[in-house]
Amino acid sequence: MRVVVQRVKEGNVVIDGKVHGEIGAGYVLLVGFTHGDTAETAAKVAKKITELRIFDDENGKMNLSIYDAEGAILSISQFTLYADVSQGRRPSFTTAMNYRDASALYDVFNDELRKRNLRVETGIFGAEMKVSLVNDGPVTIWVDSKEL
């Protein structure tokens, strides 16, 4: 499982011309799954993300959690995080988890975040989405379950 964590001032996702999810300060998460990922993987990654201290304290040092910042999460499914561009010019997505299983794990992941008392907005798995954000810092962190 891979997640790109972006600390934001605000973010939203538009689907079919309508805002589907919107947050102020917090994280926009781009979330991808691969073969072998499980509900346990999703829980482990959710825990790691909620424990990150990447918001600035009063001294401008990244020392505060999303709870301290009273932030929210906008979670967006993104199978392209598993693109393989090692051969040719067109990416291969064979390492991305299949649609059905990834969709189920995406729901598990978002539920794990909600269990940790965070407001979580989402896109729609597999939909054509327009994601907007104002990156804060910018701060962008890569979380890969194989590294936890």
pLDDT tens per residue, range 114-131? 999 999 999 999 999 999
Of 67, 77, 73, the C-alpha closest to 30 is: 77
For residues 74-92, average pLDDT: 97
CA angle 65, 70, 75 (to 5 degrees): 80
Predicted local confidence at residue 24, as pLDDT: 98
Task: Verify whether residue 55 is a known catalytic residue.
Answer: no
In the residue annotation, 79 being an active-site residue is answered as: yes
Q: How confident is the model at residue 73 (pLDDT cuts 50, 70, 90)?
A: very high
The percentage of residues in the chain with a pLDDT greater than 70, rounded to a whole number, is 100
In this prediction, residue 49 carries a pLDDT of 98
80 included as an active-site residue: yes
Closest listed residue to residue 75, CA positions, set 37, 22, 117: 22
Confidence band of 134 (pLDDT split at 50, 70, 90): very high
Catalytic, out of 41, 50, 78, 122:
78
Determine the Cα–Cα distance for residues 23 and 12; give it in Å rounded to an integer. 6
**Mean pLDDT taken over the chain:** 98
Two tokens, residue 61? 């040092």
Q: What is the pLDDT of residue 80?
A: 97
For residue 130, what pLDDT is reported?
A: 98
Q: How confident is the model at residue 18 (pLDDT cuts 50, 70, 90)?
A: very high
In CATH terms, the fold of domain 2-147 is: D-tyrosyl-trna(Tyr) Deacylase; Chain: A; (3.50.80)
- Tokens for 106, please give them: 């995406």
pLDDT at 16: 98
Domain chopping of the chain, boundaries = 2-147
Of 79, 109, 122, 125, the active-site residue reads 79
